[in-house]
């Protein structure tokens, strides 16, 4: 190993031979090469990691400071035609915890948290005892409270943004607007029908965060959030309130089981009001029953009874089978077809066609119906939209029952002419009346605000027939008609009562559906109002007595709200000339 050099003369301590050592040349070169090799190895490894296979480390690096942030989008609003809020979302927080971490809280912290989220300390402990790695402590916490909780800096307690839906109009529009579940999913009504439009799409952005969690820079493309579209309904909330409150009073006063009311604009087919009773408060849905949830006006069918008479009679007029003043013998108040007998509730003698409508004679209508071929009657009902869902896009809408004409027996044709053996929903009935309110054409009804009047619908009757039928309907609310209580002071109105026996288990029971459908003002029809009250239980059950007054109040209020000038006040206006200046 070492080479001993020849000692210089003498031997001194500092000249120890050990210190006189010298390395052989190849050895230092060897070390140099080894070091070079190691450096090369390191370099190539660095090159490999930095250039060739850099994904893994890049990702690790990014995860230290790059963050993907979701930008939440809010659900669209639902408003009435004038922009009044019917459903609005507002941000809330949900408080959640990782139980294993959260159990390290001390007693005082737990007490504070429990107090803020309105839980008993024992309940909170119960939730935190879970073995899962994620539990909700409380959802839908107001942001202010959530901020205070965040301020406590509790271990293992986290927050997530979410939305809560408010329904300022509450039970008034509950059936129409519907409601959403906790995770912003529409469950009923418009919320369900327009889920796709209402739902917002959250955006995303990638950012660099610094040590303190501040966002320092945007990296790459950001995807902006798309808020849900606002839905503007055709509803006018003033008219809706009128319909709702009057319907509610009538149902309670008559001890009825349920009721529905609809107001339709005859120019545009817009549904200005759609009210149901019983209803519920969509803001607090703890105790909900199926009865309350049902949107009867759209999803329930009933046998409409006499409210269908005008259609059959109009078809008779249209086909020239009868005239306005043709006399029909309705004595002695019953008629036998096959084995069945049809009765009038009050026997009448000879009646003109107009009086058949005015007095609502089953016998008279039957006689007119039997002059008509079944096929033409079926075609008329079909054109009016019976037997088919009205295509509102509403969940659960039904088409009712209209059997094919080929299987009709004469007795069935007769009963159908006055609204039995056929079932319709209230919305279909209201829609069919637009044919009489307009010039014989029926228009589609719309839940959404329409900006333009419908130019023309499906022609069912000639304008002349519609006009004649309107003048007959006007007789119904005058003295001698079935519904003087439906009259609206100041306006000329027309309508038809319906008092139908209810089918129960295949037989007609002593339970009734009282209804009234009417049109106003007669000089230039603007509105159709349909009212239906199910099983009035306070003694009276005639449509004119029960549904008539509701119609009158709703119609009066709606006409006033829309600013439709009265068309039956010529004397009053003439009598007040000197007061006009003061008004």
Catalytic residue numbers?
A: 306
DSSP state of 388: S
576 belongs to the binding site for other proteins (CB under 8 A): yes
Q: Which two tokens stand for residue 380?
A: 């008329």
Whose Cβ is closer to other proteins: residue 232's or residue 383's? 232
217 belongs to the binding site for other proteins (CB under 8 A): yes
**Alpha-carbon distances of 517 from 273, 353, 543, rounded to whole Å:** 14, 19, 10
Short-list 515, 512, 516, CA closest to 539: 512
Whose Cβ is closer to other proteins: residue 84's or residue 101's? 84
Q: What is the 3-state secondary structure (H, E, C) of 250-299?
A: HHHHCCCCEEEEEEEECCCCEEEEEEEECCCCCCCCCCCCHHHHCCHHHH
465 belongs to the binding site for other proteins (CB under 8 A): no
Name which position in 20, 112, 241, 337 contacts other proteins (CB under 8 A). 241
Q: Kindly report the CA angle at 278 between 275 and 281, in degrees rounded to 5?
A: 85
What is the footprint of other proteins within residues 411-450 (CB under 8 A)?
A: none
3-state SS class at 466: helix
User: Which of the ranges 42-50, 192-200, 208-216, 347-355 carries the binding residues for other proteins, by CB under 8 A?
Assistant: 208-216
Q: How far apart (Å, rounded) are the C-alpha atoms in residues 527 and 512? A: 26
Binding mask 487-506 for other proteins (x = CB under 8 A): --xx----------------
246 belongs to the binding site for other proteins (CB under 8 A): no
216 belongs to the binding site for other proteins (CB under 8 A): yes
Whose Cβ is closer to other proteins: residue 172's or residue 558's? 172
Across 358-436, the runs of DSSP E, i.e. the strands, are 424-425
Name which position in 172, 174, 235, 330 contacts other proteins (CB under 8 A). 172
Cis peptide before 521 (omega within 30 of 0): yes
Residue with tokens 């009057």: 246
**Alpha-carbon distances of 296 from 105, 279, 424, 482, rounded to whole Å:** 52, 10, 11, 25
360 belongs to the binding site for other proteins (CB under 8 A): no
Short-list 110, 108, 111, 91, CA closest to 99: 110
Name which position in 66, 85, 411, 503 contacts other proteins (CB under 8 A). 85
Please state the closest distance from residue 231 (CB atom) to other proteins, in A: 16
User: Which of the ranges 52-60, 337-345, 443-451, 561-569 carries the binding residues for other proteins, by CB under 8 A?
Assistant: 561-569
How many CB atoms neighbour CB 205 within 10 A? 18
Q: How far apart (Å, rounded) are the C-alpha atoms in residues 553 and 188? A: 29
Size of the site for other proteins (CB under 8 A): 33
Cβ proximity of 303 and 500 under 8 Å: yes
Across 438-537, the runs of DSSP E, i.e. the strands, are 441-442, 458-459, 494-504, 507-520, 527-534
Name which position in 4, 88, 105, 109 contacts other proteins (CB under 8 A). 88
214 belongs to the binding site for other proteins (CB under 8 A): yes
Whose Cβ is closer to other proteins: residue 208's or residue 411's? 208
Q: How far apart (Å, rounded) are the C-alpha atoms in residues 309 and 18? A: 133
User: Which of the ranges 237-245, 294-302, 310-318, 540-548 carries the binding residues for other proteins, by CB under 8 A?
Assistant: 237-245
407 belongs to the binding site for other proteins (CB under 8 A): no
Please state the closest distance from residue 169 (CB atom) to other proteins, in A: 7
Whose Cβ is closer to other proteins: residue 361's or residue 553's? 553
552 belongs to the binding site for other proteins (CB under 8 A): no
Whose Cβ is closer to other proteins: residue 85's or residue 135's? 85
Q: How far apart (Å, rounded) are the C-alpha atoms in residues 85 and 109? A: 40
583 belongs to the binding site for other proteins (CB under 8 A): yes
Please state the closest distance from residue 493 (CB atom) to other proteins, in A: 13
261 belongs to the binding site for other proteins (CB under 8 A): no
What is the footprint of other proteins within residues 131-170 (CB under 8 A)?
A: 143, 166, 168-170
215 belongs to the binding site for other proteins (CB under 8 A): yes
User: Which of the ranges 3-11, 86-94, 339-347, 420-428 carries the binding residues for other proteins, by CB under 8 A?
Assistant: 86-94
Short-list 410, 434, 551, 580, CA closest to 482: 551
245 belongs to the binding site for other proteins (CB under 8 A): yes
Q: Where are the alpha helices (DSSP H) in 319-393?
A: 353-359, 362-369, 374-383
How many CB atoms neighbour CB 514 within 10 A? 29
91 belongs to the binding site for other proteins (CB under 8 A): yes
Q: How far apart (Å, rounded) are the C-alpha atoms in residues 210 and 205? A: 16
Please state the closest distance from residue 489 (CB atom) to other proteins, in A: 4
Whose Cβ is closer to other proteins: residue 170's or residue 396's? 170
Binding residues for other proteins (CB under 8 A): 74, 84-85, 88-91, 143, 166, 168-170, 172, 214-218, 237-238, 241, 245, 489-490, 565-566, 569, 572-573, 576, 579-580, 583
């Amino acid at each position: 190993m070492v080479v001993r050099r020849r000692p210089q003369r003498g031997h001194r301590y500092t000249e120890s031979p050990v210190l006189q050592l010298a390395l052989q040349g190849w050895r230092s070169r060897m070390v140099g090469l080894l070091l070079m090799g190691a450096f090369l190895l390191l370099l190539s490894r660095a090159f490999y990691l930095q250039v060739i296979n850099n994904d893994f480390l890049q990702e690790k690096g990014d995860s230290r400071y790059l963050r993907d942030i979701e930008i939440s989008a809010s659900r669209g609003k639902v408003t009435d035609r004038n922009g009044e809020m019917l459903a609005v979302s507002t941000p809330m927080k949900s408080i959640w915890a990782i139980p294993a971490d959260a159990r390290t809280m001390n007693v005082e912290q737990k007490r504070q948290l429990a107090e803020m989220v309105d839980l008993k300390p024992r309940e909170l402990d119960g939730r935190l005892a879970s073995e899962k790695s994620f539990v909700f402590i409380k959802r839908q916490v107001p942001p202010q409270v959530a901020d205070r909780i965040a301020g406590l800096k509790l271990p293992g307690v986290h927050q997530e943004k979410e939305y809560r839906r408010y329904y300022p109009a509450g039970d008034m529009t509950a059936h129409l607007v519907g409601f959403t579940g906790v995770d912003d999913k529409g469950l009923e009504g418009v919320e369900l029908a327009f889920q796709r439009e209402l739902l917002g799409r959250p955006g995303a952005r990638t950012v660099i965060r610094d040590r303190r969690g501040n966002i320092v820079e945007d990296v790459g493309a950001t995807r902006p959030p798309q808020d849900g579209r606002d839905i503007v309904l055709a509803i006018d909330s003033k008219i809706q309130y009128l319909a709702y409150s009057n319907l509610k009073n009538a149902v309670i006063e008559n001890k009825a089981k349920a009721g529905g009311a609809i107001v339709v604009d005859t120019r545009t087919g817009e549904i200005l009001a759609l009210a149901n009773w019983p209803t519920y408060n969509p803001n607090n849905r703890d105790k909900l029953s199926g009865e309350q949830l049902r949107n009867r006006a759209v999803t329930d069918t009933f046998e409409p009874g006499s409210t269908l008479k005008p259609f059959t009679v109009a078809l008779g007029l249209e086909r020239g089978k009868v005239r306005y003043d043709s006399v029909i013998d309705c004595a002695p108040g019953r008629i036998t077809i096959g084995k069945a007998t049809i009765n009038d509730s009050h026997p009448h003698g000879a009646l003109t066609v107009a009086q058949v409508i005015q007095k609502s004679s089953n016998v008279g209508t039957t006689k007119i119906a039997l002059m008509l071929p079944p096929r033409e009657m079926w075609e008329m009902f079909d054109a009016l939209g019976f037997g088919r869902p009205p295509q509102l896009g509403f969940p659960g809408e039904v088409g009712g029952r209209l059997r094919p004409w080929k299987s009709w027996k004469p007795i069935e044709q007769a009963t159908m002419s006055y609204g039995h053996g056929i079932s319709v929903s209230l919305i279909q009935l209201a829609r069919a009346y637009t044919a009489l309110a307009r010039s014989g054409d029926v228009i589609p009804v719309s839940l959404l605000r329409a900006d333009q009047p419908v130019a023309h619908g499906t022609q069912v009757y000639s304008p002349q027939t519609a006009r004649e039928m309107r003048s007959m309907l006007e007789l119904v609310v005058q003295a001698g008609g079935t519904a003087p209580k439906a009259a609206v002071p100041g306006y000329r109105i027309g309508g038809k009562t319906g008092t139908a026996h209810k089918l129960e288990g295949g037989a007609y029971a002593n339970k009734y559906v009282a209804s009234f459908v009417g049109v106003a003002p007669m000089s230039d029809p603007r509105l159709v109002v349909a009212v239906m009250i199910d099983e009035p239980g306070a003694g009276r059950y005639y449509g004119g007595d029960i549904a008539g007054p509701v119609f009158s109040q709703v119609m009066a209020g709606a006409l006033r709200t829309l600013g439709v000038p009265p068309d039956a006040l010529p004397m009053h206006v003439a009598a007040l000339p000197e007061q006009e200046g003061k008004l």
